[in-house]
Amino acid sequence: MTDFFIGHIAYYFIIALLIIGLWGMLFKKNLVKKLIGMNILQSSIIIFYVASASKYNATVPVIDPRLGAINPAHYINPLPHTLMLTAIVVSVATTGVALALLIVIYKRYKTLNEDELLERMK
Partner 1 sequence: MKLLSYILLLTFGILLIYAANKLPTRGHPDNPINRDTSLAGTPAASAHYIRNAEKEMHTPNVVTTILADYRGYDTLGETTVIFCAGIVVFLILRRQRDGSKV
Partner 2 sequence: MVQRSDSIIVGIVSRFMVPLIQLFALYVIAHGHYSPGGGFQGGALLGASVLLLRLTVGEQPSNLVFHKKYGTPMSGFGVFIYAAVGVAAMIGGGVYLDYANLPIAGMEPAALRSLGILLVETGVGIGVMATMIAIFDDLAKGDFHD
Partner 3 sequence: MIWQLELIIYLLLIASAIVALRAKDLLAAIVVLSVYSFGSAFLFAILGAVDVGFTEAVVGAGITGILFLAALYYTTRKSVD
User: What count of other Cβ atoms lies within 10 Å of the Cβ of residue 45?
Assistant: 16
The one-letter amino acid code at 5 reads: F
Report how far residue 58's alpha carbon sits from residue 110's, in angstroms, rounded to the nearest whole number: 54
- The answer to whether 59 contacts partner 1 (rule: CB under 8 A) is no
End-to-end C-alpha distance for the chain, whole angstroms? 58
Min dist CB 37 to partner 2, Å, is: 20
Mask 14-53, x = binds partner 2 (CB under 8 A)? ----------------------------------------
**Alpha-carbon distance 38 to 18, whole Å?**
9
Verify binding: residue 73, partner 2, rule CB under 8 A.
no
Secondary structure class of 112 (helix, strand, coil) = coil
Site for partner 1 contains 1 (CB under 8 A): no
| C-beta of residue 115 within 8 angstroms of C-beta of residue 33 | no
**Position among 23, 67, 96, 119 found at the interface with partner 2 (CB under 8 A):** 96
Interacting span for partner 2 (CB under 8 A) from 2-10, 45-53, 72-80, 102-110: 102-110
Q: DSSP label at 110?
A: S
If one asks whether residue 122 binds partner 2 (CB under 8 A), the answer comes out as: no
Establish if 79 lies at the interface with partner 2 (CB under 8 A). Answer: no
Interface residues with partner 2 (CB under 8 A)?
60, 62, 85, 89, 96, 99-100, 103-104, 107
